[in-house]
Structure 1
Amino acid sequence: MTTSNHRFSDAERRGLYRAIHERRDVRSQFLPDRIPSDVLARLLEAAHHAPSVGFMQPWDFIVIESRSVRETVLAMFEQENQKAAERFDGERQAHYRSLKLQGIMESPLNLCITCDRSRGGPHVLGRNSMVDTDLFSTCLAVQNLWLAARAEGIGVGWVSILDQEKLSVALNLPEHVYPLAYLCLGYVSEFLTQPELEAKGWRSRLPLSELVHGDKWGQPLAAPWLDAL
């Protein structure tokens, strides 16, 4: 068996995979404890070390403590959440309305990660064919922060039920800056053993073996790869 000198130690690898598997979208378990400034700095540094196409680094971070700003965002959420609920009928709508889908006021800190769509100029290396790679790159910064937060014992919740244009106005964003992720951060009373939507019966995790294809879409993956899934 070939081994690599670049491989992490067993303990380091366990920690990484634990953060991946135990990361949760937190809505209901926030504690009021303040996040220390050095911890927040580590989370932002982790996010800033995400890979980006053409090394464009399109992200900025808006740290939001203001109660008035958060109340404005919460009002946006409630308006959009009402619209979202109306897309479902009967029991499914009642189930949707029973779900808590944000922790804007309960979390001690909100964070908006934005994407500057002009960063790097009009011709960014690697972006000419896929113009949305700036958005993809910013998503990687979100994931870096999320995993680092889990390692620090901090929960993160992504509030996606927002009107992005209204959010841009509320945060005074320039026209070329897109509010990609509005996040709630804080220490938590617990990390749930399952994703909350799975625990509450909204959806279940799909089997990985049904999602992996070999060479082309719809073709089975050959052994021994399939046997390992």
Structure 2
Amino acid sequence: MKITEAERDSFYKVLFSRRDVRREFLPTPISDDVLNRILLAAHHAPSVGFMQPWDFIVVSSEETKKSIKQGFQEANQQSAEMFESDRKEKYQTLKLEGIEEAPIGICLTCDRSRTGDVVLGRTIKPEMDLYSAVCAAQNLWLAARSENIGVGWVSILHDKVLRKSLNIPNNLEIIGYFCLGYVETFQETPDLERHGWQSRREVNNFIHFEKWQK
């Protein structure tokens, strides 16, 4: 199936306008049809040995969100203490999640035993199943953006909080917790760039030909 020029341009538009959303969420509900399309797209990510190691836990309960938010607040305070002086002060001004504002949360896990101990393509690099699950996260993010739905990845959380709040078995690896919702607007630049935390680096500085170059 050949991709048309218009379809190609649409893909790049989605890719370059993807944002990590924290503050612009609207209370507008996400319909089951839209959510199912997003999850189906995530499920069509590439996976080592075609093991499809992911599971998706969909969260809409306010009580559950409150529990996860409390865990974030504790981890966020702990994280703030790792920075020094001006960097710490700047960190504390940033909004780094939308757990309670977003209508839906999705926790993505990885079952490393899904197709047995020996997996095609994972024999030498056993971590490839984790990378596969991260591909599912990227698919989810891009599919959501194509639906004009914002996504925020909340990484400032201890796994034990999600295990307790979502009853996640210890044999599953937790990849991430994502906040999903329609937004007021998608920002032109990433939040951390816009608020002076970090700027985007020039891609040419990271491209090497034939061998690593300093």
TM-score range, shorter chain: over 0.9
Give 2:162's match in structure 1, choosing from 163, 167, 172: 167
Give 2:143's aligned amino acid: A
* Alignment partner, residue 225 of structure 1: none
Distance 1:88 1:80 in 2: 13
Deviation at 1:183, TM superposition (A): 0.3
* Alignment partner, residue 138 of structure 1: 133
1:19/1:147 contact within 8 Å kept: yes
Q: What do the CA deviations read for 1:131-164 (whole angstroms, capped 9, x no partner)?
A: 1111100000010011011110000000000001
> Within the alignment, does 1:80 sit opposite 2:70 as a pair?
no
> Within the alignment, does 1:69 sit opposite 2:68 as a pair?
no
Distance 2:63 2:47 in 1: 33
* Alignment partner, residue 149 of structure 1: 144
Q: Which runs of 5+ in 2 are unaligned?
A: none
Distance 1:144 1:167 in 2: 22
- The root-mean-square deviation of aligned C-alpha atoms, in Å, is 1.0
Distance 1:146 1:201 in 2: 24
Distance 1:134 1:169 in 2: 24
> Within the alignment, does 1:11 sit opposite 2:16 as a pair?
no
In the TM superposition, 1:80-99 aligns within 5 A as: 80-99=75-94
Q: What do the CA deviations read for 1:161-180 (whole angstroms, capped 9, x no partner)?
A: 00013322221111211121
1:168/1:178 contact within 8 Å kept: no
TM-score, structure 2 length as denominator? 0.98
> Within the alignment, does 1:187 sit opposite 2:182 as a pair?
yes
Q: Which has the larger radius of gyration?
A: 1
SS at match of 2:145: helix
Give 1:114's match in structure 2, choosing from 91, 98, 109: 109
> Within the alignment, does 1:37 sit opposite 2:41 as a pair?
no
Deviation at 1:214, TM superposition (A): 1.1
Give 1:101's aligned amino acid: L
- Count the aligned residue pairs: 214
SS at match of 2:92: helix
State, as a whole percentage, how many aligned pairs show the same letter.
50
Give 2:160's aligned amino acid: E
Give 2:211's aligned amino acid: K
Deviation at 1:7, TM superposition (A): 4.0
TM-score, structure 1 length as denominator? 0.91
Deviation at 1:101, TM superposition (A): 0.1
Q: Which runs of 5+ in 1 are unaligned?
A: 1-5, 220-229
Distance 2:162 2:58 in 1: 14
Give 1:99's aligned amino acid: L
Distance 1:7 1:204 in 2: 36
